[in-house]
Each structure stands twice: as C-alpha cells, then as structure tokens.
Structure 1
C-alpha cells in the first residue's frame, strides 16, 4: 500500500516536471516567434527605405522562417501539452491525497475491513485509469522528478520519511 502511494507520488511529480518542461518550451517558442516576425517586419519596412538588397533578402528569409515555424506549431503545441500534463499531475495529486487518507484510516483501525479492501481496489483502479489516460512523459521529466524527489527531497520514499508523512504501524491488507 505504501509502495502504491510512492508510485502515485512519483507519477504526480513526473507529470509536474513534464508540464514545467513543456511550459518552458512554449515560452521559448513564443520568444523566437516574436524575434523572427519582428525581424521580418523591421526589415520589410527598412529595405525599401534604404534600397538595400540585403535587407530585402533578410526580410524574405525571416518571413519564410516565420511561416515554416508557424506551420510547425499547428502540429506541435507545447503549451497545450503542458496543460495536459498539469491536468494529469492534478489528477495524480488527488489520488495521492486519497491514498494518504486511506493509509491513515487503515493505520488507525484495529483490523482491516472488507470496506478497506474495497477502497484499496478502488484507488488502484483510479491509478490504472490515470496511467492509461495520462500523456506520455519524457526521460528528461523522469530524471527531473527523480532529482526533485531524491536530491531536493520534495517527497522521498525511504521508510523513515514515509513514516513521517504517514502513520506508522498498520495492519496488513490481504
């Protein structure tokens, strides 16, 4: 049960890191878009005034690059992907919090009931559904999540740290 909690927490953190990564990519693309179209606009205005062939070529090339860049964005939208990963992270966070409450409830109980087993199965089914619907993450996001969880101690999983987050003794669920 604690291992399932840890896996959900890891999935949550990986989705968060992927959302951050895609959000950063979206910002970089916007900056480059403004730079390319700004260059195209400025050189288009300046070329006739200066009667410069070089400025005209720069304007033409910048316009073509801007067009290709915009066309590529129709099929590749990191901002949309970031939103999908943020939604998945929030969903995993909800399940992670449900697991924490469930573990606390089971730890406080003197015995494990059929209701507790049903709740565990319900949580496991929610995780399976989330896993099947969540967008694919990258190795970079996984590495960032691993670093955040292990090195930065955003959430760790050794027994001592889990015991701090969750109640200690619990009856085994079979």
Structure 2
C-alpha cells in the first residue's frame, strides 16, 4: 500500500488498490475467454475435417472398390454401413455441439472484456497522474464494474483447460490472486508501481 501512496499521493490508496485488483481479474477473464474460443474453434475444425474424411470414405463407390477388391461382399457391406453410421453420428454431433457458435460467443465476450480492460488502464493512469478526482474515479469504477457484470451475464462458461492455458499465457499459477508486482506485469511500464520481483 505504501508503494501505491508514493506512486499516486493525491488519490485514495484503497481506491487505487481496488481498481488494480479489478483490472487484474478482467485481464484473467479476458485471456480465459480468448483461450476458450481457440479451443472451441479447434474442435470445430477437427469436427468438420473428420466429417469430410468420413463422407469421402463412405461414398459407396470408393469403399466398394477398395474393399470389394478383396472379393468379400459381406465385408464391403459391413464396412459401408459402419462408415455411414459414423457419418450420421458426426452430422448429428455437428448439430448438437456447435463449436463454431461457441467460439464466436467467447470471442465476443473477450472483445467486450478487452474494452473494459483498456478502460481500467486509463482509470489507473488517471488516478496515478491525479487528473481524476476520487469521486470521478469511483463513478468510473462503478461504470466499469457494471460493464464487467453485463459481460459476465452474457458469457458462456469456460473450461478448466481454458483457465489453465490463460494462466500459462499470463505466466501465473494462482487463481484470481494478484500481488502488486503481478499486476505491474500486465500494465505498461509507466503505470507500474515498481516493486521488486515477487512483490516484496
């Protein structure tokens, strides 16, 4: 807290600490939704690639030519039926598991959270430079909290895998807990409080 008071002596240090913590949470949420969108899009690509391959293999003429060359019509019939079953299952799966739509939804939330994240950076800059009064900063903070809440209300759920990838991407392992040093790593250099490594 003393570092925050030294960095921005004219603003409420508790307000600055709260805004920085909220900023850190938004950074994590934004990155997690980005990672979840990537995961969903990869599933979408794999789903469609598998459907294309199975449909091509399952085309009766090709399969009959390959398997029929062995001279066993029963094997040809069973193989054709099995591939047709897989194609049907994949087609139903594509209608049930809409990975592309889910990916787009996560990207949309990430975009909204990016805007909130950047606005928090601006608020932190205004607090630390003294250009925003505490009253103005509290009003802006409340608006950003509402924008974040609105984004979370519309957000699809993310997976532990996405959160893990976000942690790796942000070079962190502790969920939603931030030291001042860790938040400094997210901020432009001019807005950092300049603590030693590890926040001590």
TM-score computed with the length of structure 2 as normaliser: 0.74
Matched with 1:172 is none
1:74 to 95, 99, 105: 95
**2:26 aligned with 1:8:** yes
Matched with 2:54 is 36
Deviation, structure 1 residue 151? 5.3
Q: Which runs of 5+ in 1 are unaligned?
A: 170-174
Q: Which runs of 5+ in 2 are unaligned?
A: 1-18, 194-200
The RMSD of aligned alpha carbons is 2.4
1:125 to 142, 146, 154: 146
Q: Secondary structure at the match of 1:137?
A: coil
The CA distance in 2 between the partners of 1:141 and 1:163, in whole Å, is: 23
**2:118 aligned with 1:100:** no
Contact 1:43/1:56, CA 8 A, preserved across alignment: no
What pairs up with 1:13-92 in 2 under 5 angstroms?
A: 13-41=31-59, 42-44=62-64, 52-53=72-73, 54-92=75-113
Q: Secondary structure at the match of 2:170?
A: helix
Contact 2:126/2:132, CA 8 A, preserved across alignment: no
**Aligned length, in residue pairs:** 166
The CA distance in 2 between the partners of 1:32 and 1:128, in whole Å, is: 38
Deviation, structure 1 residue 115? 2.2
Residues 168 and 144 of structure 1, relative CA distance in 2, 3 Å threshold:
closer
Residue deviations 1:27-72, cap 9 Å, x none?
Answer: 1111211221111012156567876421222112101110121012
Residues 105 and 146 of structure 1, relative CA distance in 2, 3 Å threshold:
same
Contact 1:9/1:96, CA 8 A, preserved across alignment: yes
Residue deviations 1:4-25, cap 9 Å, x none?
Answer: 0000000000001101111111
Residues 163 and 140 of structure 1, relative CA distance in 2, 3 Å threshold:
closer
